Structure 1
């Protein structure tokens, strides 16, 4: 839009009658915003996750009230009309994940291991369930969750194989830790069955 090599702008503000913006929640606060500000057409924005944060506001781009899109096609409608299937939740957990860890409840060996960890200035007396994977990548907890997944996860190929599954990790280090534990627990599947996928992985 800033190209003036020919002495005039190639695209004036009225060049287009309609601009369609896919993934509009991403576009509004990146460099593409300049395009939307320059051109003066009708705008159609498509997104599954509109944002209403002060500096990342999808609705404001379209001069709409926050939280009130021009039109919406909800999950219930998409399921009813056969375009999507409903999610089926299965609850699972471990004592560590549900209740956290208290030093006083540990065995003597576990207390020794606790004391050998680098906690920084202060060794805590307990770790809440919310903090478990923030401060401690616990092998036995990850192993139990992976075993639960392998035993109860969605099966394909007439039940012979676990279906494609996404495990959400706290960060890249946590994801790599989970992948290492998987390879350790299931050596016959190591290196190809469970893979870490992040924005930093080529051809993710």
Structure 2
């Protein structure tokens, strides 16, 4: 049986190695998925205000199928609306009352450029500022309790005494009134007395024959 030339095997192995190397070099790199590289709030942050959240990835995202939700400490989960154009950064609006004081979870599901969905969670603490205390009714100043400025001595009006009629004047006025009321009676009595006197005189003259009326 004939033997292969001694130099043929090494050449064949060298050619095979070259083909494998070319195949490895020419092979396309494995597709890489998007990865989260930053966020606002960041992992472990403590914030006092929260109007929006931002997620930053290492490559462009597809503007389809992206979801963001905020989970409050009590377990309430609120979907967030994506705001603006989706690039390698995704921004979402946080509605009032969605976050609660304490540890909150920001859940996201985005689609990388190769169509592969990526999911993750960012944990942060929300510490809203304490509301300023409102004074109670007992502490608030009452307008009714404000001191009323007292009038100065010069401003105090001195009461003017009213004129009081003296007893003599009162008695005189009473007597004048009584006199005025009795005057008609006195006049009438005088007239009646004069009439009676005249009648009596006339009667006497008629009864006396020697009187002036009886003389011829």
Look at both structures and tell me which one has the larger radius of gyration over its CA atoms: 2
User: TM bucket by the smaller chain?
Assistant: under 0.3
TM-score (norm 1): 0.18
Greater percentage in strand: 2
TM-score (norm 2): 0.17
Higher relative contact order (CA 8 A, sep 6+): 2
Greater percentage in helix: 1
